[in-house]
Structure 1
Amino acid sequence: MKLKVKTLDAKAKGDIELNDDVFGVEARADILHRVVNWQREKARGTARAVRERGDVARTGKKFGNQKGGGTARHGSRRAPIFVGGGKAHGPRKRDFNPSLNKKVRALGLKMALSDKAKNDNLIVLENIELKDAKTKALLANIEKLGFGKSALVMDGEAVNDAFSKASNNIPRLNVMPAAGANVYDILNHETLVLTRAAVEKLEARFNG
């Protein structure tokens, strides 16, 4: 698949040949659904469990007479009403660590990339180097390039520092290095913007 490469000023900068094994895969909703669900589950935090009555190490010996003590017939110091006893109805540990085959995860990422390329929602830039971290200037460039309502920008090894700072105040514009590419973020943005370095990194990730 061949795609036009542009500069940050929306000028033509030649073509780039995209690997069909990465950017030409037919998307399947079931695979994308599985990968997104797995990714969101992995992002959930685990509640800190408390010790309940069965977890407290205290004597279970009956500590008072059945009658004549003037109190209820308690049989254990582990009861929640006593200091040092177990917590009643406290939070329990919940496991949010699902597993998903690596091949399925890799296939889902290829499908997400291919979906953007197929629907003309993929823009390839020569680079995203800015001389000055000026948000106003970056907004003018974005309007020329047609990023849409939301865009995810991926650079190569690391995101250009000036571009990152200039984009901080722009809503629905997120940046990340190619190493952070994931299905959820790609699908959650209308436009995917890759630099030449990002394309090389992504293709090397699957062909390596």
Structure 2
Amino acid sequence: MQADVTTLDAKKAGTVDLRDDVFGLEPRVDILQRMVRYQLAKRRGGTAHVKDRSEVNYTTAKMYRQKGTGRARHGSKKAPIFRGGGKAFGPKPRDFAIDLPKKVRALALKHALSSKAKAEELVVLDKCELKEGKTKELKSRFAKLGFGSVLIIDGAEVQEAFARAARNLPDVDVLPVAGINVYDILRHEKLVLTKAALEALEARFK
């Protein structure tokens, strides 16, 4: 399949061939859902922690005598039923990451790219370069292109001036091709790939 190449000035710059095995698949929601769940689970900190009765700082003396009080038999104020006592079955530091085969992760990225291509939300840019890193200038160019919520994927490195101009724009993310991921692709309305990014993706899925 072919796609038109445009410039930041909203002018045509030819066409480019897109691989059908990367951009022409029928998107599967189940694979995309598994990948998004994998990404979100992996980024969780898992640092929640509460003290149980072995960790709280409290006296170990018996509260009152065992028999003859008419009250329940207690041996420690660290018990969860008392104020200041330890928490029963509270959260502890843990890893929330789940396993997902490498081939499924690669397939999910292809389906995410195909979903944008099928929805006509994929734009191919000639290059992402600015002489000066001015947000106002980039905002006017994005207005010509009709960009709102957009994920821009460049080559191996993002030009510093372009990244500086884009970082103050809401709903605009700029990543090198190594940082491309399913979650960011799906949560933005448009996906923008530079020609350098396309070449890198073709080499990746070779």
TM range (shorter): 0.7 to 0.9
Name the count of aligned residue pairs.
203
- Equivalent positions of 1:1-208 (< 5 A) are 1-53=1-53, 66=66, 74-76=74-76, 79=79, 87-89=86-88, 91-93=90-92, 94-147=94-147, 149-207=148-206
Within 2, Cα distance between the matches of 1:164 and 1:198? Answer: 15
Letter paired with 1:168: R
Q: CA deviation at 1:79?
A: 3.9
What TM-score, normalized to structure 1? 0.83
Q: CA deviation at 1:82?
A: 10
Q: CA deviation digits over 1:76-129, x for unaligned, max 9?
A: 57546699xx62247412541111122111111101101111221111111111
Provide runs of 4+ in structure 1 moved above 6 Å: 60-64
Within 1, Cα distance between the matches of 2:47 and 2:98? Answer: 16
SS at match of 2:15: strand
Letter paired with 1:47: T
Q: CA deviation at 1:66?
A: 3.1
Within 2, Cα distance between the matches of 1:11 and 1:101? Answer: 41
Q: CA deviation at 1:191?
A: 0.7
Within 2, Cα distance between the matches of 1:89 and 1:76? Answer: 14
Q: CA deviation at 1:143?
A: 1.8
Q: CA deviation at 1:7?
A: 1.6
8 Å contact from structure 2 (residues 5, 124) kept in 1: yes
8 Å contact from structure 1 (residues 49, 90) kept in 2: no
Within 2, Cα distance between the matches of 1:43 and 1:176? Answer: 18
- Identical-pair percentage: 54
Structure 2: runs of 5+ lacking an equivalent: none
8 Å contact from structure 1 (residues 47, 91) kept in 2: no
Within 2, Cα distance between the matches of 1:172 and 1:182? Answer: 16
Q: CA deviation digits over 1:127-181, x for unaligned, max 9?
A: 111001111211121122222x311001111111111111122111111111111
What TM-score, normalized to structure 2? 0.84
Within 2, Cα distance between the matches of 1:206 and 1:98? Answer: 24
8 Å contact from structure 1 (residues 32, 111) kept in 2: yes
